[in-house]
Structure 1
Amino acid sequence: MKVLRVVGAATAVLLAACDTVVPTWQPAPATASASASPTASVLASPSPVELTLAFGGDVHFTERTAALLKNPATAVGPMTSVLSAADLAVVNLETAVTTRGTPEPKEFHFRAPATAYEAVKAAGIDAVSIANNHALDYGRAGFADTLDGAAAAGVPVFGGGRTVDEAYAPLILTVRGVRVAILGFSQIHTLAESWKAGPATPGIAMAWDVPRAAAAVRSAREHADLVVVFNHWGTERDSCPNANQKQFAAVLADAGADMIIGAHAHVLQGAGWLGRTYVAYGLGNFVWYVGSADTGVLKVQVRGRSVVRAELIPAVVSGTGQPKPLTGSAATAAAKRFTDLGRCTGLAAGPPPA
């Protein structure tokens, strides 16, 4: 069984980020497992804790995948075993979780009932990003339900909130004594101005506010052992990262991100190292309502702040919309396709020498 502790009184530790003010650290209550100096607790140890993190791409429950919620315990499908085995598993929840609201002026609209959170928990997923271009598909009424439903179900969310400070705040989880900060940003143009969080307006954290995003990462760096950023970005159906992705990744790496994970493009994108920062540009669809495509769980082993191993556990989006594990030669071929995607990323095949 995984044992994770959310740092702070709420589901996220609020680190207020703005262009001119240094974000404010709100410390957790003193506990036996908390460290006064979290970074030193891990990095100064002669034998840093080694964690296994697992990441999946976009998940929602609509059309063919809506039927999966008849049994939330099995909704995500057989890749659950990989997610559950990790010390920390994270996906992007690509939907409003609501039965209310009015569709926003956009082409595609996704929503799911509150049992979506039951499915997420049953799959061993520990936290979900809501920094995407579907979280507000049914307006702020639907978004309020999404936040309330997550809190009621005990599913930590990040990348959005009731205010701009909450949206840009990292979720900080203590995993086997390691404080892991997770932040989420959306780099999608559609309705970005109207969906962005404001001082007293619910919404999501936008990557387009680069100074605020960088400040949030720098503040998380000061108060966590490991900093992970999960972005919603990229050009749909393009397996190569675009210029905006590359530029933003460089900013995040410079601000102190140890890992940068992405989704949105509906296809896998390549991975590698940007200096000492591990970047996986795109994990594609994971539980999806149409089509079939390469997918998988990105399994990452981390020692201290260093990614020591990363591999895609290959799968394919099946006829049910669930990811189905690949085996044998099909798995080998899929893994090679993912490795080959690194060629257009500009990333290194490994970290620089210590």
Structure 2
Amino acid sequence: MNWARCFVALAATLLVVACDPARTSPAGAPTGSASPAPPSQPTEITLAFAGDVHFTDRTADLLGDPATAFGSISSTLSAADLAMINLETAVTTRGTPEPKQFHFRAPASAYDAVKAAGIDVVSIANNHALDYGRTGLADTVDAAKAAGMPAVGAGADAAAAYRPWITEIRGTKIAVLGFSQISELWSEWRATDNRAGIAMARDLPRAVEAVRAARRQASVVVVYVHWGAEGDACPAAEARAFAGEMAEAGATIVVGTHAHLLLGDGWLGNTFVQYGLGNFLWWRDDAYSNDTGVLRVTLENTAISKTELLPATISRRTGRPELASGEDVARIHREYADLRACTGLAASPVP
């Protein structure tokens, strides 16, 4: 045996082991063991909510170029992991007007505009989705499917209307439902087991079970409700009662529209409630208010870590929402904070 050669080989092996980082172990750990993995960091998810949208009168022309219909506010919506609005119109060219004062409808390109703005899901549970009857509603639902735009809160029957849309964002499942609490024509428009229509908050047992079922499928549940009284900056007792039912059933976030102006927000236990986001992309210079905004909710994994309203105003010329600037930012923030006083909501979560 050549002892000199063996000694050189052994020395070389020891040198490789000593200098190879993959073989270097922490103090006290066996040679070759892996270093402890760093603790996992919370997964941040941002949700954006805005108010009522339709394409009529001054906003109808915006569909001439759906890609730019929402204007600069699109960047705010697109920046969120999930963005949602209330599409307050029948998307149809057919049907017969229902017996009511206002009727709104838009062509299928409305969905192209919504998608181009970075919106991921719309609620069609409102008091205009059936403006042109069940023919118009069927077209509205079919156009959403053709455009690949999830639409919640209405459908061919109650099972479809109360069914959540469920998505997964970085491992977190989020369920979204839509309901209407508007009294006008509600019994005629409500979805039943064998009739198309809207998911109605007044059908309380079905609404509660829909949220409970969604909670069994997802760790975050969003409930978007069309409710309240036009022009009233304080939530109606009926809305407050329904928010309580939704919180009890497992909703993480309850957000609403309809009053044509901003309403307050806050906490109902561990459920965040926003009672009114006002108009957003709107057909007329509203007598109630042109103040609006985007509600941004930040989740860390499944828990809400931050909520904020990004103030905006509706352009009197185009009907588009635009992020507020200058004195309007401070004014809207100040007025918005004052709105909590009549909501009965807490400023922070209550265990």
Give the TM-score normalised by structure 2: 0.86
Tell me if 1:106 matches 2:100: yes
Structure 1, gaps ≥5 residues long: 1-44
Match of 1:12 in 2: none
- Tell me the SS of whatever aligns to 2:63: helix
For residues 157 and 274 of structure 1, the distance between their equivalents in structure 2, rounded to whole angstroms, comes to 27
Pair 1:329-2:323 in alignment? no
1:316 maps to 2:316 = no
Deviation, structure 1 residue 305: 3.2
1:223 is aligned, of 217, 223, 228, to 217
Q: Distance in 2 between matches of 1:72 and 1:337?
A: 33
Give the whole-Å Cα distance in 1 for the aligned partners of 2:42 and 2:141. 35
SS at match of 1:79: helix
Does the aligned pair in 2 maintain the 1:263–1:283 contact within 8 Å?
Answer: yes
Q: C-alpha distance in 1, partners of 2:124/2:57?
A: 20
Is 1:155 aligned to residue 167 of structure 2?
A: no
Matched residue type, 1:123: A
Compute the displacement of 1:202 (Å): 1.1
Q: 1:189 aligns with which of 183, 186, 194?
A: 183
State the Cα distance separating 1:50 from its structure 2 match: 1.7
Q: Choose from 267, 271, 277 the match for 2:261.
A: 267
Which one has a bigger Cα radius of gyration? 2
Cα distance in 2, alignment partners of residues 132 and 285 from structure 1? 13
8 Å CA contact 2:172–2:302 kept in 1: the answer is no
User: Aligned pair 1:174/2:168, yes or no?
Assistant: yes
For the 8 Å contact 1:276–1:306, the answer to whether it is kept is: no
Structure 2 CA distance for partners of 1:213 and 1:46, relative to 1, 3 Å: farther
Q: Distance in 2 between matches of 1:227 and 1:75?
A: 29
Runs of 4+ more than 3 Å apart: 45-48
SS at match of 2:256: strand
| In 1, Cα distance between equivalents of 2:304 and 2:334 | 20
SS at match of 1:282: coil
Per-residue deviation, 1:72: 0.5
What are the residue-to-residue correspondences of 1:226-305 with 2, within 5 Å? 226-292=220-286, 293-305=290-302
Cα distance in 2, alignment partners of residues 265 and 307 from structure 1? 26
- CA RMSD, Structure 1 to Structure 2 (Å): 1.2
Contact 1:73–1:118 at 8 Å: present in 2 too? yes
Counterpart of 1:176 in structure 2: which amino acid? R
What's 1:133 paired with? Answer: 127
Structure 2 contact 268–350 (Cα < 8 Å) conserved? no
Q: Report the Cα distance in structure 2 between the residues aligned to 1:283 and 1:161, rounded to whole angstroms.
A: 24
Hey, what's the Cα distance between the residues in 2 that align with 1:175 and 1:202?
A: 31
Give the aligned length.
309
Post-superposition Cα deviations, 1:155-192, rounded to whole Å, max 9, x if no partner, equal: 00001111101101111111222111001110001111
Q: Distance in 2 between matches of 1:349 and 1:275?
A: 10
- Segments of 5+ residues of structure 2 without an aligned counterpart are 1-38
Alpha-carbon distance in structure 2 between the residues aligned to 1:227 and 1:261 = 11
Q: Distance in 2 between matches of 1:48 and 1:100?
A: 49
